[in-house]
Structure 1
């Protein structure tokens, strides 16, 4: 029996089935890879294990004992710790305070001995080679670089002496030498008896660290393979699976449905040169009138960052951006809107809608300025007429315009987000996962709206976590990896298998790699972390 066994794990989020009977087995002392395309269920399965997501149904066994994990507290009590790509450190607290947060010594609800935790100094020394020389336990975390903060997340997890450690894209922001440090420490934890689940978008990391890997697809577990006996091509085939076998037939259908090839002989409508930002490195692209250009690759490779930067919602530097041949400088969303940009964010609840306001107000907010009487009077008859036109045009199912937008279904809410921008007649439409969490019917309606925009001469940049969506909608796909464009697929080259293959093929080096001497000089894991594996 494996040390960790998860079977028949089911989870739905509304109409979306994230897990459909998935399973995972990891042995004590093993570093086990978890692979799958976007939307396969990897993160959801990990969050079930760490108590971040409560499954609809699941059987979990740890060390031969059936357990129930309903919260992060339950997971912690069972010896499960996790490191995610998203940071949880608190910038205004010190390194020491962040390390012990949540595991401080307490008595009757009060801190004991100042909350001191055994092993803090040792675990800090453990990650010390990856930190700047000026960093101490008393340094505020806000002064640390992103990679150093990620190392701190790893140290926080290690301090909890985990029996099970989940590393979910935990190396994405690290330099090569820092990755090497994390790998060394992860091996030491595994040698001490921990079971490690490792998710990475870098295939070479999976190969270097993992003995076995489990492949997920569509919420199902496909198989578990031994890495040294499985080629990259075989892994891609397992991740794509039925999509690959049906790609030829689907390509024929899409060829019939596909709009006429856009004319790329003229001047581009959108030009971007040398766009650089916190997670972007010299992005160059051109998009011609009527084109839908997808941003592919595994999620979190800079796709959303690129859209936010173009809309002035994230910092960017060293860039030339031009629309219709005229240079624009979108340093804030207002600038981008004035230049003809529209942006549909990935999180409609927090970024796309005013959930406590009416459908009318949500449909009007982006274009209200254009309908003001005498520059500042709001005429409600104009607002109702404009909103009613968008409801009719987009087939939005509503009760009344005065109803809160939160009363609508997810698909109809997303149509409202799109509808508010249609009124502005945008030249450049930025779509960040626009159909996430909507049903099949709503997806097709949104696809129709997107095609209608390009038929009127607009260009669309589309980030999607659904490769099938990129295949169905896009004229071209730019595959991104760690903030760079690494490949371009055009027309019939776009298929589920080609997208996955481009996303997981050998990566571009992203930082200095340590020499063998540097690796050999890393200090051993502290005894306090080796001894307590419960």
Structure 2
């Protein structure tokens, strides 16, 4: 890569415990371009951009902006350097007005007092530019809480633009936008490109990459693989570059039977829309797709933690009304959340208590009395079954390694004899050995007759572990992958929802005679 690039990142490394998120990644991009960062789940693309924006501190590596070293101590430092970011997770304050959110942290002041007139002059041009995305209005004094999700995302974009960035990061920023809102955003992105701003773009929509991006860097396993010019590379080749050479997945014998254990019909909740599927006893069913496409909402709705808008859930032929997690547990539905620290464990409490939490009531005398001897025996039995390493069951669970903590999050459900096990990215943040041991625990649950639903941020985990995978895109099930189709390449293609329409866009956008082609020509 040329040493004169406006933005350079070299040798960037970042580890989280036993997991390597970035492994010596290099990246370079020019001012006045729209540069995509592509890669499958777990490739390190979001971590790389969070290093750039100061959200994540790298273990090693250098970042240079316009020839100067950038050593941020946090997002404020990078903002002062001219870098703004827009994420799918919003940073807005619902009870504040749109204006107050846009100038938060950069409020103009006059004689030490906030200058509201100056704040309006700062924010209004961007709100007016995005008026079409707000249905033709300029919601400067409206509460953020009163806006719909797409409008809130547009406010987040305006908040970044108010800071007049030299580098704008859009990390899945279009995920909640409607088509017209995306069109307005892309018009603004092209204007920013013409004014010399570098726009870094992560999206799961291939058609958007083809429509607005000039260059793309493909990442895999925490490293940069190749940087290409979008107009010169067919979309099929982009997918192949993202996946690369695939290692053969470990083959495991399925324990699935013909008995339908879970039957879901037309389930809608949160971001999930009209999900219909069945899971057999002993089957491991994966939930694939890019993160944030409704997988977690599906699992939460089945566990009663998210109220459904519509649909029915049938377990072993009987309708289940999971209006709360307590009711779900009574129906023998187990849930392994995505954040073990805040949702799956009581970190300051003993290992024994964490093992006992879901099932203690089954062993309580008259519903209130517990025998320590009985609790110790139950915990030791589960710990041995899931190969958990610990000093004493009275030690805080926080003293265990991440892998052993995660095994407790899963293994504590064994005594409840679950009929359905819901798992939200259970292998996140643990090393390879712990992951293999955890997968063995998952297979044991399936072998006991449970129907297992598992979401994972790493497509390879789904290939290794699952009998089938349902791929979600924007809250809907768009593909069912099994048998010979169950490969990483298929999952990546399905996750990006590559359709015949996308292929047509790829073909026509690169044709010289296409009237849309000038929008995609390199500057």
Query: Which TM class, normalised by the smaller chain length?
Result: over 0.9
Measured against aligned partners, the alpha-carbon deviations of 1:195-230 in whole angstroms (never above 9, x if no partner) come to: 000000000001101011000000110011111111
Question: In the alignment, is the contact (CA less than 8 A) between 2:150 and 2:177 conserved in 1?
Answer: yes
- For the Cα contact (< 8 Å) 1:91–1:142, is it kept in 2? yes
The list of structure 1 runs, each at least 4 consecutive aligned residues, that deviate by more than 4 angstroms after superposition, is 132-135
Displacement of 1:391 in angstroms is 1.5
Q: Distance in 2 between matches of 1:86 and 1:168?
A: 9
Name the residue aligned to 2:516: none
Superposition pairs of residues 185-196 of structure 1, within 5 angstroms: 185-196=188-199
Question: For the residues of structure 1 that align with 2:391 and 2:110, how far apart are their CA atoms?
Answer: 55
CA-CA distance at 1:333 after TM superposition:
0.6
Partner residue, 1:154: 157
Matched, 1:206 2:209: yes
Structure 1: gaps (5+ residues)? 510-534
1:411-435 residue CA offsets vs partner (Å, 9 max, x unmatched): 0000111121111110000011111
Distance 1:147 1:362 in 2: 40
Q: CA RMSD in A?
A: 1.7
Equivalent of 1:259, from 249, 253, 277?
253
Q: 1:70 aligns with which of 58, 70, 73?
A: 73
Q: Following TM superposition, by how much is the alpha carbon of 1:106 offset from its aligned partner in structure 2, in angstroms?
A: 4.5
Q: Partner residue of 1:376? A: 368
Equivalent of 2:314 in 322, 326, 332: 322
Q: Are positions 1:351 and 2:343 aligned together?
A: yes
User: Is 1:302–2:294 an aligned residue pair?
Assistant: yes
Q: 8 Å contact 1:29–1:194 — kept in the other structure?
A: yes
Which runs of no fewer than 5 residues in structure 2 stay unpaired? 502-523
Partners of 2:305 and 2:156 in 1: CA distance: 27
8 A Cα contact 2:255 2:446, kept in partner: no
1:335-484 map, 5 Å: 335-484=327-476
Q: 2:6 aligns with which of 3, 7, 16?
A: 3
Distance (Å, rounded) in 1 between the aligned partners of 2:353 and 2:499: 46
Q: Are positions 1:12 and 2:15 aligned together?
A: yes
Q: Which secondary structure does the structure 1 equivalent of 2:367 belong to?
A: coil
Counterpart-to-counterpart distance in 1, 2:117 and 2:374: 61
TM-score, normalised on structure 1?
A: 0.90
Cα pair 1:481 1:507 within 8 Å, conserved: no
For 1:115 and 1:436, how far apart are their aligned partners in 2? 47
Q: TM-score with structure 2 length normalisation?
A: 0.92
Moved more, 4-13 or 129-138: 129-138
- Alpha-carbon distance, 1:105 to partner: 2.4
CA displacement, residues 8-33 of structure 1 (integer Å, 9 cap, x when unaligned):
11111111111111122111110111
Aligned to 2:303: 311
Bigger mean CA deviation after superposition, 168-177 or 414-423: 414-423
Distance 1:508 1:152 in 2: 33
